[in-house]
Structure 1
Amino acid sequence: MATLTNTPLGTPRGKIDGYVYYNSKGKTIFRRSGKSGPQTPLQKANCQAMAVTMKLLKPMLKYINLGYGYQAKGTDKNPHNLATAYHKKHALKGEYPNIQVDYSKVILSVGDLSKIRDMQLQKVATGLQFTWDPKLNYKPEEYDDLVMIQLYYTCTKKADHFLNAAKRCDGTYFIEMDEEYLQAEIAVYTSVKSADGCRISDSSFLGMINEKAEIPEMTVKALEIKTKKEEKKKAKKELSDLKIKLAVVTTSYIQQLTEINAGTRTEDKAFITLEAEFLTLKCKMQGMPKAVKPDN
């Protein structure tokens, strides 16, 4: 990858003769446009890590633009670049193909402003109640700082942000919520920004609302094995029942077919129904999974 400043033809953009040109922070960057081959396990893990990171950050973009904006000033990075780099490296857990977010390590803002160190979060019947001591020993200019709150719904990957929730000196803030949202699993984060918007604190993770118990990996494998055994057992029983029913129907069908061929019985409606049932059962038998079919 390289950068261009001035060219006789102006500033290129797009794909030209095997190279891709684009603009970033006032710089024109170009790189070779390669052809991707089969992915290695490491590349697959990297792709999933990036996908999980993007899905996490997408609904929180407004919060991140404020949260990493102070850090991005004077660099050729934007807030989303910085947030992506941090979370992809530090806020994920697990191995491919089961990479997940570690919500306790998510950081939505980075700055030098004082945090609210004693904020408490309580779920009540109609919403979430936030409280803190407004009389702590903050600097005089910090009492008008604004509290920011981010709610991230882990199951739906959606988010609600409150960028000017309350002043530091208020000591309380209430978010009214519908029952549907209040019963969801929610990761809760908070930050503080200065009244002029020029400074921000590091974010704090206040915890999970309605946290679902995480099943250990060994337990997951044990459940998978148990499920497979139960499915195989069920399939074998279905095969056994099918064999018994087919044997009964086959005996009756052969007997009636013999009588029809001998002229002692007519091909009536009852026989046509029996024949249809016989053919259906044979098809079902042929379609049974090989894993549960009896050995010949």
Structure 2
Amino acid sequence: MSCLTRRASSAVQRTLGRSAGLNWAKAGAARRKGQRKAANRRIGYLLDCLIPESTRWMPSRSVGRVFFCTLSSMFRAILFDLDGLLVDTEPVYWAVAREMARLRGRRVGDETLRRMMGVSRIESMRVLKADLGLVESPEMLLEEREEMMLRRYRAGVSPMPGASELVEEFRQRMLLAVVTSSPRKFVDVLLPSLGLSGVFDHIQSGEGVRRGKPDPEIYRLAMAALGVSPTQCIVLEDSRSGALAGRSSGAFVVAVPTELSRGDDFAFADAVAADLFEAARVIRGLPLAAQRSMTS
């Protein structure tokens, strides 16, 4: 029995038993007669035929998730985080946080910056206020920060390596969405500066989201807008809280950590890529829909 078969879950095997056209009964009968090796070879052949070979490197739970998708429906959508994933905004983000602290005679440490990653805008200001002992309300701090960030964004930002290539490769085949805690005014400045204006089928910004990442609400809103189920979605995230939100939504999660988040625990993710070029290779190995289709 192949390495892939040994790692396949019992849930996958039970699903095979219920799948039409698979001679699972013979394999079961052979096992009951003591012919375990022959049964396992037969089961292994069926699994190896149905699960893409490119998933052999994945954790067994992820192999099962890909298998269920293969039986029911192909992946149809890719949902992208924005900051730190598609666009290199983290230097701006951290520079503004440090400037806000400096103006108040304080210093902000890397641990505070790490805890501000991937959460809602207001929550990040609660972290800053608590860690630095600031007197202003989170709402006042947020307004100040967003004015400072918008000025810097308008001055120009850089795409993350591989962002344009990944989007261009899959835009004709997959539904694409941006799912970000940032306000829409940031998105409307950032995407055109990257040459990605009008590329995405849906943009889900932080406005109107009651519970920020790691809660899956923002991803579920985006999925509903696209008309796809969680099992049809691939989520790309750079932060742990964002990846947790994608995982909790039921999507297939590819984590692409940044320098700041690289030390975080992404063991729960279905795949961890060093950069967007590697993330593209992961996506190519998944069962993708033959053509894009958006439910109205």
With normalisation by structure 2, the TM-score equals 0.24
With normalisation by structure 1, the TM-score equals 0.24
Bigger Rg over Cα = 1
Could you say which structure has the higher helix fraction?
Answer: 2
Could you say which structure has the higher strand fraction?
Answer: 1
